[in-house]
Amino acid sequence: MVAKSSQVIVRYAETDAQGVVHHATYPIWFEEGRSDFLRQIGTPYSTWEKMGYFVVVADLSLRYLAPAFYEDRLIVETSLQRLKKRLIEFSYRILRDEEVIVQGSSRHLIVGPDKQPRALDETFFERVTQLLQEQES
């Protein structure tokens, strides 16, 4: 399993009237984590799109353990749980200092420009798999 980290500093616009991060913000940070993950392993999402692969959310879950506040410095840890030719699964942990404040997961289907399910071709699948293996060593 490969994990990558991204930093987020909570912006004022991401908080509610009580100064707490609004619940709808966390999935956005998950998306940022996924994008950073793909960039960090060497296959940015833009590369996937240029090849006609679009990664769409099929399932998303998260569990709030503690609130985050304006100007908190957070770490979004994104881990790849599973990669198949038509499916990708990630897990997430958002930390403030050493404390996990949110946990979550997402499952994504791969579709083509026509929005129909599409499998990664063998060459690209092997390339991504090799990049992941290099990250593990």
CATH number for the domain spanning 115: value is 3.10.129.10
Q: Is the pLDDT of residue 22 over 90?
A: yes
Number of domain units in the chain = 1
Condensed to tens digits (0 to 9), the pLDDT of residues 43-99 reads 999 999 999 999 999 999 999 999 999 999 999 999 999 999 999 999 999 999 999
- The model's pTM is 0.93
Q: Do 87 and 109 contact (CB within 8 A), yes or no?
A: yes
pLDDT of 131:
87
As a whole number of Å, the end-to-end CA separation of the chain is 11
Q: 128: buried, middle or exposed (CB in 10 Å: 19+, 13-18, 0-12)?
A: buried
Q: Would you call 117 helix, strand, or coil by DSSP?
A: strand
Print the domain residue range for 90. Answer: 3-136
